[in-house]
Structure 1
């Protein structure tokens, strides 16, 4: 009996000896982690690594009983997620891949803090992008917010769950645009691995039917990216034949070039753009899509400034699609969002400050009859007409104009028949134009910043969504009266001016565009720089309350 009792006591002691460290280890690790994060200093380093999500970490580890504890299987999942960041156009080094590869060698507290930091970095990057767009563009006003989701709760639940990978991957933009660009990144990286593609010599414009040494170069170049496929027919290698012309036109359509089949300077430049450059372009635009993911939704009028094109999307369907003219490089169309709630038929036009200063006043000082030519009225601050001949234009000092120049409705009004007005500090809006011929051009960076619309009455009808009262015929009849009229939309529409030089078209085909404003390089530089994560303001300030 005594032997049995002693044996039972020994077994209980052995169990406690085994179980106690197992039960105590997570708590000890949490207390160690809490000590690493102690204080309120904004800059914290753990094992030599700068922490960028300190407010989140302090909230998570504030209560040792609820603090994250990383098991081996979770660390393995985390390592895989970090490796997959490469497929998003990101650098795994930004997510502590080296530390996570050797996480088992870290003290438990450091391991848990750094693994949680790696997850937070990756989660925020997939949700908002690595770079802070506000630091790259002072006009940026898109939302960076988790909304109703508490990031601390999300982190705690994700770490404790059995589906960590699925939860993280769900943070990516869930749109065909993102998936198409991501797939293209993988494909173009494969082109790089295999040496890219052969170039095409420069020269006089190559036109269909000509014999030229560049014809075989074109076949080799377009065979790599798939526009041209070899057939069983006998080829005249130097002949720029019909099949090759068709392939060139496909390439031109995918790069925003004139689809005339003529291989001139612009087409040759696009053909000779390297695979490495295209990879960078795709990475840059995946980042931009991450910036925009929180904004895309129903009832959105999206203008891609880089593509000179706009779409109105309602209920997941494209209700209007058309060409647009945007600001020329020295008068860039700003990238921002706004709310559109009304349209104006037969609009008046008040000359904006930039055009007044840089275009109109210099001509008036030179004695030009620009007011008569453009049918502009000179008004005082009370709206009363002023005789332009009474003004000493040469003696007028910049910044002391004191008058208003207004174009009345009519065939020469720069806004045309319809204006789509949305309040913004840039005096930028969408509108019609009397210069209809500009829409046949492929490069349409021509305006002073506003956006000219190809089919404005059709867009107006789609936005009004009232075929009984406001179809295209009714709009034309209202325009024919010559009277200015404001028409309210049934519901406000979000206007998104974006800048994407690589994107998916309506057929989910990858499209590339020239970086007309030179905006790609700053994003590329920020993507390739060491991570400096900027948490959204609501997260950075509210996170400690989640403890």
Structure 2
């Protein structure tokens, strides 16, 4: 008897005898044929038959979903709201500003004898409130709220005395009218001023004029202060490439300070950035507005290679001829005389262009591009004006005091500088992110220097660049000196992983061990941030010889990393070299050193002269759109 599925089956003796004598090995189906008399001819399975073991299906590879870089958004400016003057109907007796408010603590603008809200002024203000009944004043939401909150607590005029516009108001109006000297639009701060003469105007109408002027001027002063301190736009709305913390601003405190000082101009101007770079840009703006347009203007986006044709070429050759006249002109005067009016970039002109490029400090490759045009022909007046105005706006996103000791990376200039005591001690060439992997615009604080560093490969590079190859060659990371670890931190051979099952989020970390081939070179300088951007060395030294150095995945590569490391550590290059000989290690930066990963197409050099750079990421164009969107809200077409 054979036990089968807990049933007892009687086996014929002859079969049992065959089994005992050693029946030749048969298939499972053959055994069923012997035991149960074969399979019916119609192909139906016998009751109780074992199904064949399931065949494992090979999973289809997961589709690779690329990790994309940040995008640029259509800028949306805050809409304006009507100021709710109904809240002022029950304005209470004047209440002093809290003693712990920023305004109350702003001693620089507090005269010895503070002005107080006197009863007669309160009475005049309350009597004029009816003039706001049908008055519509549009303002930004936070300004509208601050306006009513302040005047409920302080029902008194700031800008009116004895039924007339007072001296503080006149000074404030002058400052608002000069907004253009800071690269702002004076129309954003326009206020209708009531006439000084009151002949023929009854008291009620005069009160209406004055109360409306009071509210309008306060609203526009608050807008001016906010724009001066924080900028007209919120850069973080343009793209995730921008990353700036909010700058706190006590709008009620601003009005309280203005109510208790006669230094109105000084206070309002103090809201702008207080650094030499901002002042140098203002000086340049004034000089540009007073200057004439360039006599010869060359298309700043010109791209011309030997053999190609452009009507811009003769303009450029004219400028080159003037510039080379005092030095190399004798060598090329005959060529310029013969081909100076040609629209075709003939081979004879290539040495002329190369000589001009070399003199301008550019790579003499003979290709006429935007950087060559900018260096040889300069920018048009309109272009320079715009770049300076954009730079003034961008400086308002940064701290007013940049710090006497700092690192400043200017992406369009492809440079990184170390400034100490306000003086530039080191300036080195830099490589920044490609247009498809742009370097962000933000600021942080330097924390650490890593010698002979490991390179932790970003997830975007693992997915976008490594994963496609790993599917066909899973062991290439092992062969190339990379270490792979799982979520628990355990080392895993790259060749042991089925990379085809991952398409977007790879649950492994990959890092490259220190070596001459390491992507970070011999050291990196860290300022931890969510963008995973830092400064570092690179084995690709040839990149520093290029004029356009937007070539990395987003981090900033330095031509002189040892010099920068020594500078931030406050030590010598020899010390850094000695540390590098000892293998992998890290060293904390003990001083507070801010680092600005910035983007300015106009920026002063160490002498204060403004230099202009190409807009490598087209961010000036994005800023122009954002400013236009803001102005369209503030000054809607009627």
The bucket for the TM-score relative to the shorter chain is 0.7 to 0.9
Matches within 5 A, 1:5-404: 26-31=121-126, 46-50=135-139, 52=141, 53-64=143-154, 67-70=157-160, 71-97=165-191, 99-100=192-193, 107-138=209-240, 140-146=242-248, 151-158=251-258, 161-191=261-291, 194=293, 197-199=296-298, 217-218=315-316, 238=337, 252=360, 258=362, 260=364, 264-267=368-371, 269-270=373-374, 271=377, 274-294=380-400, 296-367=402-473, 370-371=476-477, 374-393=480-499, 395-404=500-509
RMSD, aligned CA: 4.0
CA distance in 1, matches of 2:629, 2:125: 32
Tell me, yes or no, if the aligned pair for 1:306 and 1:499 is still in contact at 8 Å: yes
Q: Which structure has the bigger radius of gyration?
A: 2
CA shift at 1:355, angstroms?
Answer: 0.8
Summarize the Cα distance change of 1:251–1:274 in structure 2 as closer, same or farther, 3 Å threshold: farther
CA distance in 2, matches of 1:168, 1:315: 28
Summarize the Cα distance change of 1:441–1:374 in structure 2 as closer, same or farther, 3 Å threshold: farther
- 1:190-226 CA distances to partner (integer Å, 9 max, x unpaired)? 45x65874447979669xxxxx998973486689xx9
The structure whose residues are more often helix, as a share, is 1
* Greater relative contact order, per chain length (Cα 8 Å cut-off, separation 6+): 1
Tell me, yes or no, if the aligned pair for 2:303 and 2:367 is still in contact at 8 Å: no
CA shift at 1:448, angstroms?
Answer: 0.7
Tell me, yes or no, if the aligned pair for 1:30 and 1:109 is still in contact at 8 Å: yes
Summarize the Cα distance change of 1:29–1:85 in structure 2 as closer, same or farther, 3 Å threshold: farther
Tell me, yes or no, if the aligned pair for 1:200 and 1:268 is still in contact at 8 Å: no
CA distance in 1, matches of 2:477, 2:324: 54
Tell me, yes or no, if the aligned pair for 1:348 and 1:408 is still in contact at 8 Å: yes
Tell me the TM-score normalised to structure 1 length: 0.76
- SS of 2:603's partner is strand
CA shift at 1:63, angstroms?
Answer: 3.5
- SS of 1:337's partner is strand
CA shift at 1:369, angstroms?
Answer: 6.9
CA shift at 1:532, angstroms?
Answer: 9.0
- SS of 1:127's partner is helix
- 1:81-138 CA distances to partner (integer Å, 9 max, x unpaired)? 22211122211111124x2486988621111111111211112211111112232233
CA shift at 1:327, angstroms?
Answer: 0.9
CA shift at 1:34, angstroms?
Answer: 6.4
2:555 alignment counterpart = 450
Query: Does 2:579 correspond to 1:489?
Result: no
CA distance in 1, matches of 2:441, 2:431: 14
Summarize the Cα distance change of 1:508–1:33 in structure 2 as closer, same or farther, 3 Å threshold: farther
CA shift at 1:57, angstroms?
Answer: 1.8
- 1:15-71 CA distances to partner (integer Å, 9 max, x unpaired)? xxxxxxxx9874345336767899xxxxxx944433551233234322446541333
CA distance in 2, matches of 1:429, 1:371: 24
- SS of 1:298's partner is coil
CA distance in 1, matches of 2:280, 2:365: 26
CA shift at 1:319, angstroms?
Answer: 3.2
CA distance in 2, matches of 1:196, 1:86: 25
Summarize the Cα distance change of 1:310–1:267 in structure 2 as closer, same or farther, 3 Å threshold: closer
CA shift at 1:370, angstroms?
Answer: 4.6
CA distance in 1, matches of 2:240, 2:128: 38
How many residue pairs were aligned?
Answer: 483
CA distance in 2, matches of 1:158, 1:229: 59
CA shift at 1:529, angstroms?
Answer: 3.2
- SS of 2:590's partner is strand
| Stretches of structure 2 lacking an aligned partner (at least 5 in a row) | 1-117, 198-205, 341-348
